[in-house]
Amino acid sequence: MHEGSRRFRFEVSFPMTRLYFFQGGVHPSELKISQDTPIEELKIPDRIVVPLSQHIGAPCEATVAPGDRVRKGDRVGQATGFVSVNVHAPISGVVKSIGIFPHPIGRPLPAVEIESDGEDAWTDKLKPHEKYMDLPPETLKEIIRDMGVVGMGGAAFPTHVKFSPPKERPIDTLIINGAECEPYLTADHRLMLEEPENIIAGSQIAMRILGVDRGIIAIESNKPDAIDKMKGLTEDIPVLEVVALRVRYPQGAEKQLIKTLLNREVPSSGGLPMDVGVIVQNVGTLSAIYKAVRFGIPLIERITTVTGSGVREPKNLRVRIGTPIEVLIEACGGFTSDVGKVIMGGPMMGVSQYSLEVPVVKGTSGIVVQLLSEVEEGSAQPCIRCGSCVRACPARLMPTVLGVFAQLDMFEEAERYDVVECIECGCCDYVCPAKIPLVQLLRYAKAEILTRKKAA
C-alpha cells in the first residue's frame, strides 16, 4: 500500500489502516473491577508529603523553608537541569519540614511536608492563556515544564524533554496512549470517559508543539465506551483518529504500541520513539498539559485507581500529589482481610510497598492490594527449558538464558545478548512455570552492567 492511498483513507476517516502486531506479550485476567466506578474526589488530607524527586532525572531543589505559608499551586521545588521539572504545593497550608521521607521507589528521599490549613486556597500566581493555540511552541514547552508535567503512565519522564527532539529527528505522528494494558487499572479509562475534552485539547497542544498533523488515540478494545466517546468527539477533527487495539499486555508500552499502529520498529541499543518519527503521550499527561497551558494549573493532582481484592470498595480517586496511600485505602473502606502485597502501579510492573506512609506521586496510576492467599507461592524451581519466557518476551530476548548469565555473574555475555533491551514488563515472570524471578535477575544484570560502565 503506497502512501497516497493511506492518506486518502485517513482523511475521509475510514476505519483505521490495518493493525500490525508486536511479538510476544501475554493476556492476564483483566480484572478491571473499578471500570464502572466514576471518579471520586478524595477529601484533602491534613498532611501531605511532596517528594522533590517524582520524575526521571535530576531532583528538585526546595524553594520553601519550614514555617513558610504556601497556597495551592505555589512552587515548592525548583527544577535543576534540563531533565527535571518543578513541583508545586498540592494544598494550602504551612511547610512543616523539609526532610527525608519514605518514597515509592523503596528508599527514603528528600520531600517537603505541608500541613493543611483546611482552606484549599489557590495561589494568585496562576497564569491562564485563553488563546493558547496562538502561543509559539517554545513558550508552550516552557509552560509545561514550569507546571511540572511529566509522563503520567508510570515512568514519570519529563514531558518537555519528550517534546524536544533534535532537528535531525523529524516527527510525523503523535500517539495518544489510552491503552491501559495493565490488569486492574482503570484510571485512564475513567479519565477518557469523564474528561475526554481535556485529552483532545491537550493532544492539539502537543501536536502544535511538535508540528505534526497526525494524532492516533490508541485504546484497548476492552474499553468500548471510551472508544465510542473518543470517536464521537473527534468526528470533526480530521487530524485525530481513534484506534481500537487488541487486548494484549504490554500493548501500552511505547515500542509495542508504535509497532502495532505504524509497523515501525524503534531501533535497539538506546533507540527512542523519536528515531522513527513518533512521540507517545499518555492520556493523563495530555489532560495535564491542557490544564497547565489553558488555566496555568500545575500538576498537583491525578486520577489513581485503588483496587484489588484486598480493598473493600475499589474506586477511582482524584487525589492530590503527596497524599499518603494510607488515606486512599481508608477512603476505599480499608483492607478486607490479610493483605499480602500493596503494589503501587499495576500488578505487572508496579512496585510493592512496605509502608503505607509513602505518598502518591505524579506517576502513581494505581494502588493494587492483593491478599496473602493470592501472593503466596512456592520458591523458585530449576528451569525446565520450556521456552515460555522466550515466546512471551515482547522485546524478543531470551530471559532464561539472560537469567542464567546474571546468576553466574556473566555480565559481558548478558550484554551481548541485549539484556539492556529488557523493558521489565514482567511477561517472562508471569509465564514461568518454575517461578524463577526472571525480571529481578535481568534487572540485576542491567544494574551491574551500568555500574561497571560507570566505573570504567
Q: Nearer to another protein by C-beta: 303 or 431? A: 431
Q: Which is nearer to another protein, 107 or 131 (CB)?
A: 107
**Chain-centre distance for alpha carbon 186:** 13
- Of the pair 133, 351, the CB lying nearest another protein is at 351
Q: Is 106 in the site for another protein (CB under 8 A)?
A: yes
Residue with cell 515482547: 394
End-to-end alpha carbon distance in the chain: 49
Using the contact rule CB under 8 A, the part of the chain among 284-292, 352-360, 363-371, 393-401 near another protein is: 352-360
Q: Among the candidate windows 69-77, 183-191, 363-371, 443-451, which touches another protein by CB under 8 A?
A: 443-451
> How many other C-beta atoms lie within 10 A of the C-beta of residue 404?
16
Residue with the three cell numbers 518454575: 434
Complex with another protein: residue 12 or 455, whichever CB lies closer: 455
* CA-closest candidate to residue 33, choices 331, 310, 243, 249: 310
Of 63-71, 117-125, 176-184, 440-448, which segment contacts another protein by CB under 8 A?
440-448
Q: Which range touches another protein (CB under 8 A), out of 105-113, 183-191, 251-259, 312-320?
A: 105-113
Which of 88-96, 172-180, 255-263, 347-355 is the region at the interface with another protein (rule: CB under 8 A)? Answer: 347-355
Answer yes or no whether residue 97 interacts with another protein by CB under 8 A.
no
C-alpha–C-alpha distance, residues 94 and 112, integer Å: 10
Q: Does 447 bind another protein (CB under 8 A)?
A: yes
Containing 401, the helix (H) or strand (E) segment is: helix 399-407
Choice between 373 and 440, CB closer to another protein: 440
Nearest to 193 by CA among 226, 234, 227: 226
Point out which span in 66-74, 278-286, 327-335, 434-442 binds another protein (CB under 8 A): 434-442
d(CA 77, CA 257): 34
How far apart CA 325 and CA 347 sit, in angstroms, is 16
Nearer to another protein, 275 or 448 (CB): 448
Choose between 3 and 377: whose C-beta lies nearer to another protein: 377
How is residue 263 written as a grid cell?
509497523
Per the listing, cell 561497571 goes with 452
**Site track 371-410 with another protein (rule: CB under 8 A), x = hit:** ------x-x--------------------------xx---
**Smallest separation (angstroms) from another protein to the CB of 448:** 7
Residue with cell 509513602: 358
Nearer to another protein, 141 or 443 (CB): 443
| Site size with another protein, rule: CB under 8 A | 18
Residue 119's CB: how many other CB atoms inside 10 A? 12
Phi and psi (nearest 5°) for 52? -80, -10
Query: What whole-number distance in Å separates Cα of residue 131 and Cα of residue 293?
Result: 10
Residue 113: name the closest of 68, 145, 58 by CA.
68
Query: Nearest Cα to 289, choosing from 180, 177, 140?
Result: 140
Applying CB under 8 A, does 14 fall inside the site for another protein? no
Residue 245: strand pairing partners: 220
Q: Does 448 bind another protein (CB under 8 A)?
A: yes
Interacting residue with another protein among 22, 132, 430, 444 (CB under 8 A): 444
Does position 107 interact with another protein (CB under 8 A)? The reply is: yes
- Residues engaged in binding another protein (CB under 8 A): 105-107, 351-352, 354-355, 377, 379, 406-407, 437, 440-441, 443-444, 447-448
